[in-house]
Structure formats: structure tokens, C-alpha cells
Amino acid sequence: MKNNLIRHSNFQDASKELRARLNMSSEKDVTIKFEKDTYHFIDEKAENDFNELMAGNLDYDTHWGKSEIPYNKGITIENCNNIILDFNGSTLMMYGLIQTMLLKGSKNITIKNLTVDWWRSPFSIGEVIGSEGSKVIVKIFDDFPIKGGEPVWAIMDYDPIEKHLGEVYKFRNMTPLKLIEKQKVEFSGNFTLKPIIGSYLVIRHVGNYRPCFQLLECENIFFQNVTIHNNPGMGIVGHYTKNIQFRNLQVKPKESHIMSTSTDATHFISCSGLIDFEDCYFEGMGDDAINVHGFYQSIINISEDRKIVTSTILNPNGTQDMVFDAPTNGDRVEFCKSNNLLCFSENIIKRSEIDSEAWQVKITFEKPLSTSIHCGDVFTKVNDCAKLRFVNCIARDIRARAALIQTRGCIIENCKFSYCTGTGIHIDTATGWWESTSTRDIIIRNNIIQACGYGDGTYNNTCGIAVLTECDESAVGVHKNLVIENNQINGNGESTGIYISSAEEVEIYGNCINNCATAIEVDDSTAIHIYGNDIETQAKIVFNNKRKSFNWD
């Protein structure tokens, strides 16, 4: 392999130097080693866009990345094979609104020994010093310079004594920051819960820009000893990518910054093979540590011979990397009614004609469609369901869930989840975001879930593990073959430890469930086997459905 040593010169902006060597197309068998340093990546357009955002001149909800909305790009590696980027403990310091790196159509890529940070975070933090009616007054810390007029996309509160996120979370519909005096601001909103005086407040200025690392149509990607302190969007998004491995990935705030990525730490769409996490750490994100899923397509037209349909993604937010997630030739799909998301028919795609601008696809199937399939029904690809291994990982102080699982073939083992405002582990499939699919073959064992499920992202009042569907009706058997074994769940005195709905063949055994009003609750499920759990005597096991089979002691 070719070897190159990147030496950083003593000038501030290293973006031209980095782009000159790291923007690659169709290269192979290259190892690039960096001299350990801090590399400042300064892009004038990215800085200008950030300044416009902070002045209130850019829509904080703009879906950057759609065809009509350009975004700022850092480094692009496209159609490359066998590339090793060894940053040797360096920091890549980014400026403004920009995506750090895109990997596209590439195989066997290793990124290691790197920290990514932002010179000015896309959020501000301060202490709440006043509260008058709908108004909140905050003294912003000096790390986050404020001029006034900055938008408030969302707020989160933080207890500086307990050092954990609180229950306050609100997004949108708040006034911009009004500068009262240097670093002292006020803003207003219609608060259900209001931050208390003395608490710290994280004020997010942007919703979801671009992922720090975007992996598109790649294979065999390896992250080793990579830390992401900050990003104005998600940390890592994989789409149509096969086999992604993480060792000592850390998504966490730098000291005193409370927040790391604006939204999910990691997010995977229609990937395949194995997504493999081990010895990784997650803290301070504005959303989940991990989400693995596909997308439902809604049928909007069916041909007379019932072999051709036109379909579209219903999600009004698009996909998380703004790439149309379209079914294609050879995909195996399952059909569901949108009201319950229970599979009732299958087929294989013979040919697809994709209209990426309209986000629609015309599909010809190998066999005529079942007469039970109608417009408004949904289907999803099930060959793009990556297996997930999530082992020896820590997730703490997250606004939302630690793990959102919407795929098949998953093990979550020997992990510790604590002070996540949402449910610790959420097994799901949903309308709303229209994320698929119904799950199969999930093992959750030997994990500790501590003090989760007390705020935003909590489902069915569940602190530990929730298995359910988010749709109009529950149906038995949407989720199948789950094992929940030897986990320790410590609640908040009022929560449910484990909640099961819309499931079939679930084993729950050897778990220790403490400080929960309800230890285990079951709705609309069958073949639920509950035994050998250590449950406090005052906690309940609740079965809300009458016609299903249970085996418990």
C-alpha cells in the first residue's frame, strides 16, 4: 500500500491541505498517516451559513441535502477501496455548518485515532437566573458567545448538582434570544414544564443539519478510537451500507459542554450485513444513541393486472441523510396494513423505476399482488435488515432512548444505560416517522438499565425495555422471538420495568427489577414466557389481554 505522512503547517486553516489529499475518487490501497495536531477546517461558506443561522436569517428546520437545498461539504471519499486514515490522535476542528466527511461507494475503509470537534457549538449553555410568566432569563457561559437574535429550536435542562439531564424538553415555537446585557438573554415560550432558577439550560439553535460522517452505498467500514464531541446534526449515518464496525467509538461532550451531537449519535437506514459495536460510549446527544431501521412505502396506485404499483415514502421529514430510500430490483418486501403494521403478504420486486425528485417509485412484482392489498397499505424491504451487535457499551445522559431497534437479528449485551430521559431499550416499528420493520430474533441480556424513562422519549411509562408498535391498533405477532434475560432494571418508583405489546414468543427470565410500580406489563401478545425473575414484592405483573397464552411464575 502507498503511505503518505500528512504534516500540519503552522497556519490556521488546514482545509485546503486536507481536501487536497483526502478528497479521493477511485483510489485504492492507500494508507495516510497524520502528524498528531489540531487541524482547523475553515470553510467560508460554512461559516457564513452559521452566522446567518445565528442571526435568525436561516430556517433552523431546513432539510439540508434535498436536491433544491445545497449543503456544505468537507471531505469526500468516493469509489475507493482499501483506504486507511490514521489520524494518530489528532483533532479535526470544524467551523460553521458543514458535513465533515462523506464516504460513498467505497469498500474496506478504516478511520482511526481521530477526534472531531466544533469551534463554536451549534448550541449555547447557561444558567437560568430568572423566570417571569412565559419568559426565561439565562446567563450564557462565555464558551458560547451571544449577540442576540439567535434562534431557539429546542431547550433541555440540566441539574448541575446531580449532573444529569432533567425533565424539561421543548422544541420550536419559542422566541429568539433577546440580549439584555453581555451574555445575558431572555426568550419566551408556552412551557408545559419550565426550567427552574439555578438549573443549566442547553439552547439548541439548529434542528438537524448533516451527519458528521455519512456512509452511502459502502461496504466494510471500520471506525476505531474515533471521538465526536460535537456536530450540528447526527454523528454517523449509514445508508445502503454493508458491514460497519465500531471499536471505542465515543460520542460525548467535551468538558462542561453537556451536549454532543444535535440529534442521534448513530443512525442506520436499509443497511445489510452486520452493524457491530463493542466498547463504545455515548453521552449528551439530543436524540438516541443508536437507531437501525428501514422505511415503509405507501401504495398510491395499483395496476389492473395487480403486478405494478406506484409508491412513496410518507415521512414528511424525508430520510435522515436526505437520500430517497427506494426499493429496487430483487428486493423482498412484506406488506402491512398501516393501522397495525402486521405483515400479511410477501412478494419480490422484478423491476423498479425510481423518481428521486418526486420520491416515488413504480414497481413491477414477480407475482400478482394479493387481492387483500389496497392503496394506502404499506410495504417494506426485508432483505436490507442489518443484524446488530451492541456489546459492552455505555449510554448515559441522553435526551431520548439509548437504543431504538427496528431490525432483525440483534443482540444487546453487557451494556449500561443510565439517566436517559427516554426508555432504555425500545423495540419498535412505527407510523409517524414510518420507520420499519417489525422485529425478529432479538436478544437483550446482562444489561444494567438505571434511572431511565423519566422524561422525553419515554414509551408507555417504561424505564427499562419497551416492545411495541406506534400505530392506530396493536396486533399480535408484529414482533417475534425475543429473549429478555438477566438484565438489571432500576426504575423511579412509578415506572414500568418491561412492557410488551404486539409480540409473539417472548421469554423474560432471570431479570432483576427494582423500584418499579409495575415490573412487567403485557398487552396484545401471545406465547409470553415469564419465569425466574427477581421482582420486588410490591411491584406488579400485569396482563391486559384476555385471549392470549402466557406461562409465568
Q: How far apart are CA 550 and CA 530, in angstroms?
A: 8
Instruction: For residue 479, give the C-alpha cell.
Output: 414482533
- Give the model confidence (pLDDT) of 352-395 as tens digits: 999 988 999 999 999 999 999 999 999 999 998 999 999 999 99
Q: What is the pLDDT of residue 547?
A: 46
Three state DSSP letters for 411-476: EEECCEEECCCCCCEEECCECCCCEECCCEEEEEECCEEECCCCCCCCCCCEEEEEECCECCCCCC
Q: Summarize the chain as % helix, strand, coil (round to 5).
A: 5, 50, 45
Contacts of 469 (CB under 8 A, 6+ apart): 340, 341, 428, 429, 430, 438, 475, 478, 479, 501, 502
Name the residue among 406, 401, 397, 389 with its Cα closest to residue 444: 389
The 10s digit of each residue's pLDDT in 400-413 is 999 999 999 999 99
Number of other CB atoms surrounding residue 350 within 10 Å: 15
Residue 532 CA, distance from chain mean position: 34
Alpha-carbon distance of 30 to 26, in angstroms, equals: 11
Report which DSSP code applies to 65: T
Residue 3: per-residue pLDDT: 57
Rg (alpha carbons) of the chain, rounded to whole number:
24
Virtual CA dihedral for 34, 253, 207, 326, nearest 10 degrees?
A: 60
- Contact 357/366 with Cβ under 8 angstroms? no
**How confident is the prediction along the chain (553 residues), in pLDDT tens digits per residue?**
455 555 555 558 999 999 999 999 999 999 999 999 999 999 999 999 999 999 999 999 988 988 789 999 999 999 999 999 999 999 999 999 999 999 999 999 999 999 999 999 999 999 999 998 999 999 999 999 999 999 999 999 999 999 999 999 999 999 999 999 999 999 999 999 999 999 999 999 999 999 999 999 999 999 999 999 999 999 999 999 999 999 999 999 999 899 999 999 999 999 999 999 999 999 999 999 999 999 999 999 999 999 999 999 998 888 999 999 999 999 999 999 999 999 999 999 999 999 988 999 999 999 999 999 999 999 999 998 999 999 999 999 999 999 999 999 999 999 999 999 999 999 999 998 999 999 999 999 999 999 999 999 999 999 999 999 999 999 999 999 999 999 999 999 999 999 999 999 999 999 999 999 999 999 999 999 999 999 987 778 888 865 455 565 5
Give the per-residue SS3 of 361-383: EEEEECCCCCCCCCCCCEEEECC
What's the mean pLDDT when you consider all of the chain? Answer: 95
Q: What is the DSSP letter of 262?
A: S
Distance CA 349, CA 329 (A): 5
